[in-house]
Amino acid sequence: MTPVFNHFATCLIVAPLALLPMSLCAQEVPSDTRTVDQAGTFPEYNAKLLLTNAVSAVDGASGGGISNWATIAGRQETRGVGVQAHVTAVLLPDFFYQSHGVALGIADRIELSYARQNFDTQDVGAALGIGQGYMLNQDVFGAKVRLFGDVVYGNTLVPQVAVGAQYKRSLDGAVASAVGAAHDEGVDVTLSATKLFLSHSVLVNTTARLTKANQNGLLGFGSVSDDSYAVQFEGAVAYQFSRRFVLGTEFRTKPDNLGLGEGDWFDVFAAYAPSDNLTVTAAYADLGSIATFTGQRGAFLQAQIAF
């Protein structure tokens, strides 16, 4: 059975679930197809299925908007180098969050990422005594390695598993220290498992994060009374309505090292790829309590370009 026929057969199975016309499946057969090994899997291919490079999380790594996944950034597969860049905005009642960054994927095995986070305190800055519209800034440098498994292919019971680390450096050490943080820099370690059940168009992710970051690091790390690491949980479930449209939800637990009532995060998101290289994401995001200001719920918006 030829690789092209295998692709067409996959479309026959997936199209009814993904609401795709058969003509679209026939048109999207890649010119550089995989070779099928004796196990019937597809070990090499130069471009991922649409949306399986995921979007960009708030810390710059590939995944969902608020959680890290085992995915590797970029549209490349096992024989190439890919890149994706994003601009993200989160509009909250009392704050405005903005980030931008870039991530590099190497052979669908290694991911290197960078993000700059900017957090505008608006009127809250004056209430907290740090100044009207004071901007908290942070740099995040990340690395992720796929250990085994594949998001799409292979045994359906074996997910893609990746381990990652993120070095976060707050540029507002004086503010972090004033609220009781022990450090203005820190490292998060993540272990993620992600699987797309292609025949059901369902993606599932779970992540364990070892961290002591306060508000993702924007308010420093740890506290003078408790400088220990804690394991936090991140999860996501998404349904792929078509090759270009995904709807899902995420949840992320957070530590409360500073005793300010820092809450867990939750979102419901929709991601759409109008072209093979552009993905736009919109979400309703609930970020709980930030610096004692509760009810921080609003719109998450992101544009991402990937090659």
Judgement on whether residues 227 and 273 belong to the same structural domain of the protein:
yes
Judgement on whether residues 68 and 34 belong to the same structural domain of the protein:
no
Mean pLDDT over 109-134 rounds to 93
Q: Give the end of a domain, one of 9, 26, 45.
A: 45
Judgement on whether residues 121 and 20 belong to the same structural domain of the protein:
no
Number of structural domains in the chain: 2
Cα separation, 307 vs 82, whole angstroms: 5
CATH code of the domain containing 222: 2.40.160.40
Local confidence band at 128 (pLDDT 50, 70, 90 cut-offs): confident
Bridge partners of 168, per DSSP, are 140, 186
Local confidence band at 46 (pLDDT 50, 70, 90 cut-offs): low
Judgement on whether residues 285 and 229 belong to the same structural domain of the protein:
yes
Q: What is the pLDDT of residues 210-220, one digit of tens each?
A: 999 999 999 99
- Model confidence at 37: pLDDT above 80: no
Q: What is the pLDDT of residues 174-192, one digit of tens each?
A: 999 999 999 999 999 999 9
Judgement on whether residues 176 and 204 belong to the same structural domain of the protein:
yes
Judgement on whether residues 201 and 74 belong to the same structural domain of the protein:
yes
Residue-by-residue DSSP string for 57-119 = -TTSSEESSSSB-S--SSS--TT-EEEEEEEEEEE-SS-EEEEEEEEEEETTTEEEEEEEEEE
Lowest mean pLDDT among 19-28, 33-42, 118-127: 19-28
| C-alpha pair distances (Å), 285 with each of 46, 67, 151, 216, 301 | 34, 12, 25, 15, 10
Judgement on whether residues 142 and 206 belong to the same structural domain of the protein:
yes
Judgement on whether residues 270 and 136 belong to the same structural domain of the protein:
yes
Show the domain range for 17. 1-45
DSSP state of 215: G
Q: What is the pLDDT of residues 252-293, one digit of tens each?
A: 999 999 999 999 999 999 999 999 999 999 999 999 999 889
Judgement on whether residues 211 and 288 belong to the same structural domain of the protein:
yes
Local confidence band at 28 (pLDDT 50, 70, 90 cut-offs): very low
Largest CA distance in the chain: 69
Judgement on whether residues 106 and 1 belong to the same structural domain of the protein:
no
Judgement on whether residues 9 and 109 belong to the same structural domain of the protein:
no
Cα separation, 198 vs 8, whole angstroms: 14
Cα separation, 264 vs 137, whole angstroms: 21
Is this model's pTM higher than 0.75 or not? yes
Judgement on whether residues 30 and 140 belong to the same structural domain of the protein:
no
Percent of residues, the chain, with pLDDT higher than 70: 85
- Nearest in space to 298 (alpha carbons), one of 96, 79, 160: 96
- φ, ψ for residue 189, nearest 5 deg: -120, 135
